[in-house]
Every structure is written in C-alpha cells, then in structure tokens.
Structure 1
C-alpha cells in the first residue's frame, strides 16, 4: 500500500493536488484553489503560476486557470465531480468515523476510474489518499459496481476494441455484483489492499460514481463484511438523497 511519506514536501503535494483538480474539475479561480488546498491566496497564485510555466495550467481570459496541454490528453468524465464531492465528502467522513477505514469516491473516465475524493482512516496502518489516481474500472470495487449498472449493450460498447478484457467472464462477475449489491477488489490493484464498493446512482438508476471502503487485507474479515456493506450502502443512499435535493 502507498501512504503519504513522512518526508512529504507540502509545496510539491499542493502543486500535484492543484494539477489534479484542474484536470478533474476544470477552471478554477485563485480563491477557489486557495480554499480547496487550505492555503493563502498568494500561495495558490504562486502555485498556479508555476503550473502555467510547466504547461500544467493556462491563464484564461476571465482570469481563471484551466488545465494546460500536459493535462488535456487524459480521459474526461461526464460525472458532476464538484457536486459529487460536495454531497459525498460529509457522508464519507461519517462512514470513516463509523468503520475506522478509508473511503474513496470515484468516477468513470474512459475504461478507468478516477479517484476524486478520499477520506483517510485515522488508524496508523491504513489505505492512504488515492485522490487523482486512475485505475482500470474492471479491477476496482467501485468501478465494478459502476459497470454492473450498465446494460449488456452498453458494457459491450464500452469495451469494444479492448483486447485484454475477457468480456464473458466480466459479465458473469458483474451479474454477481448486481445480485449482491456490492463488489470486492481483493488485492487486484495493489498487494495488501482489499476494497468493497457500491454504486451511487441518479434518479433514473444510472450510475454516477462509485463509493468504496478500502482497508489493509490483514484487517479484512468475512464475518464483518455484512456490517461494512450495510454501512457503505446506507452512505451511498444518503449521498444519492443529497444529490436529488437542491444543489449544495
């Protein structure tokens, strides 16, 4: 598992977070960037200036900053990321308090999922922050939960031309995910990491995002699985409720 190093450089970390925000959510004002990073506006301005210098960002005519050419090749997501974060993060914190394990929010981006928010476990041995990372959707728990909500035709079109996917096998696995209401990633993306995932859906039952509870495999307990699944499902429902109400 990859956790934040004890020697982390805050300036580097802030610059990387800012680049990820520009890629995932689009243009930001200096004040928006400062608020998201928890830094002074002058610090955010200096970080943005350096990102512009290295082509990770560009200054727009309306004085906002958008993603630069280095970031543009990445697959985009149709999910309302900013709204998902506002609705999701308070409930994710509540779930972490309840389970003492890390919680992730992710959206589809091409055939991958992009992690758009993480609330870390307070435990010393924990799954660390995954925000900004991309992983194959068919391997992650949240990604499988999203894929399971697609129609067979949509799934076939989704993976058309992708040679390394065993589509019949994936269909069988997703059928089981639909029946259970959750998916499991047991060390498929990272040795020592197990995650349980479910989908967050809109009013029409379409998947908007995936929500996962991630923990060290050493703490994974089949007897506790129903408790984790119930807590995860309840959290997803509360987020769906928040999304269905007035925009936050």
Structure 2
C-alpha cells in the first residue's frame, strides 16, 4: 500500500515532526462519520487505504470513547460524544468509496493530488481528496477545509460560471477576502481573470499557497451556475505546464464519471 495515494489527510501542507499517524487516521474517520452519517469497516478501510483489521480497531476506539456507535447491522454512525451533525449533505456523496476510487485513479494518471470541492457562499469546501504518491506534506488532501473561492483553481472555475451580477452579489462591498498569496483584491480584478477562464473552460491557480499550483474543472450543472469542481494540484517544480491540455481532458472525464454515478 505504500505506493498508493493517501486519502483524507488534513494538515497545513507540512507534516509536523510530532505527527501521530493513528491519531490522524482516527480523526479522519470521525470526520467521515460526521459528513456521511455512516461507515462500514470496508468503507473505513477504503477511506484510509489500510487493512480492514486496522480500520476495525480505529472504529472500535471511537465507539469506546462515545464518538461512534454500531447498529445491529454492524454499521457505524456518529456517537453521543460527537458534536457535529450526523446529517450528510449532498456534496459528501463524493467521499464515498466509488468516488474515491475514481479520484485515486485520477491522482495516479495526472501525478498530483486531486480533490472534489463545493461552493459555500464565496468560499469552497474540500469535500474529498486523494493525495498524489509524490506529494507527501506538499499538496495534502485537505478534506473538510474551507478556503476563499477566488484563490483556488476549483473555486475560480466555479465562479467563472456565474453571470457578472450574481458574481458581484457574492461580494457585496466589491472587495475580496484578503489572503497572503493572492494579489487581486476587488471583484473587478477577479472579473478580468474570469474572462480568461471562461474562454479556456478551466482555471489555474497558485494563489492558495506558494508551494501548490492547481488546475480546476467544474462538474456540469443543468440548473444554473456550477457549484462543484474537480481539481488537481502539484508543487511548482512538477506542475505540468507543457501538458495542461491532457490534464484538463482527464479532469473532464472524471467530472462526467462523477455526475453519471450520481444519476
């Protein structure tokens, strides 16, 4: 399993020296339980890319401390000690095993970390992710994170599907949330970049972090502007600048697969 991408890992992009793997895996399972509302041992093993016996021990530990419970069919659900709502929201279907397998194949194909992201207000939530095998501690799968939409490739791709008036409504004062690595500060500046994204049909970004470059493509929507996207990210020295069209093709194939699975 050491050559497989790592699923669901959340940190600030740099693995701390004091990182405890078992704690990280338990927290990943707790997050998955609260997002999806239920997990089997097989689901947990798939989510963590570990043996079922390891997943079972982690789930039983959560049960012991009240953060999970097990019903008669031996399916795990959030326990009484969990303070996060157990009601799964629609976007979290993309963290299910079938979607994770699709994302894992994409990560291997493009050689980077991939995510499904969803719009929340003028931010995007990282719903599910698979870390590329070469990206340990650089482009981490940040499942659960919330970042300003305009600084990420997926967020920019989503915003580009909005009519100008609807885009402006996301930023009532005309200004964007200030961030460390993004130079644009106003809706007018964002709109100028979005015109190029609309023309190309995909977005790129290096504004979320100086050590991460990304490409984003929206999931097709038949009822208005897109609200979700699939992204791929790499450290700058591995960004496929000469192979962008091929990466975009693979991203679009995956967006269609995810939408077809939903239907």
**For this structure pair, what is the TM-score category when the shorter chain's length is used for normalisation?**
0.7 to 0.9
Partner residue, 1:101: 112
The number of aligned residues is 234
Deviations 1:130-171 (A, max 9, x none): 222221111100111112222333323322357545112222
What displacement does 1:81 show? 1.3
Deviations 1:43-73 (A, max 9, x none): 31432554x5xxxx687xx99426978657x
Q: For residues 38 and 107 of structure 2, what CA distance do their matches in structure 1 show? A: 29
Query: Pairwise CA RMSD of aligned residues?
Result: 3.5
Equivalent residue in structure 2 for 1:171, among 187, 191, 195: 191
Deviations 1:55-97 (A, max 9, x none): xx687xx99426978657xxx9964312464553222222222
Equivalent residue in structure 2 for 1:194, among 201, 204, 213: 213
Partner residue, 1:141: 153
Q: For residues 214 and 154 of structure 1, what CA distance do their matches in structure 2 show? A: 28
1:239 equivalenced with 2:239 (yes/no): no
The normalised TM-score by structure 2 is 0.72
Q: Is the 8 A contact 1:103 1:120 kept in 2?
A: yes
1:212 equivalenced with 2:231 (yes/no): yes
1:65 equivalenced with 2:78 (yes/no): yes
SS of residue in 1 equivalent to 2:38: coil
SS of residue in 2 equivalent to 1:21: helix
The normalised TM-score by structure 1 is 0.75
What displacement does 1:10 show? 2.8
What displacement does 1:198 show? 0.9
The within-5 A match list for 1:33-72 is 34=44, 36-37=47-48, 39-41=54-56, 43-48=58-63, 50=65, 64-65=77-78, 71=84
Partner residue, 2:38: 28
Q: Which residues of structure 1 form unaligned runs of 5+?
A: none
Q: For residues 42 and 2 of structure 1, what CA distance do their matches in structure 2 show? A: 27
Partner residue, 2:3: none
Q: For residues 34 and 226 of structure 1, what CA distance do their matches in structure 2 show? A: 35
Q: Which residues of structure 2 form unaligned runs of 5+?
A: 1-11, 178-185
Distance change (3 Å), C-alpha of 1:78 and 1:156 = farther
Q: For residues 226 and 238 of structure 1, what CA distance do their matches in structure 2 show? A: 19
What displacement does 1:212 show? 0.8
Distance change (3 Å), C-alpha of 1:46 and 1:90 = closer
1:117 equivalenced with 2:128 (yes/no): yes
Distance change (3 Å), C-alpha of 1:229 and 1:77 = farther
Partner residue, 2:203: 183
1:227 equivalenced with 2:246 (yes/no): yes
> Which one is further off, 208-217 or 121-130?
121-130
Q: For residues 235 and 150 of structure 1, what CA distance do their matches in structure 2 show? A: 22
Q: Is the 8 A contact 1:34 1:43 kept in 2?
A: no
Q: Is the 8 A contact 2:154 2:216 kept in 1?
A: yes
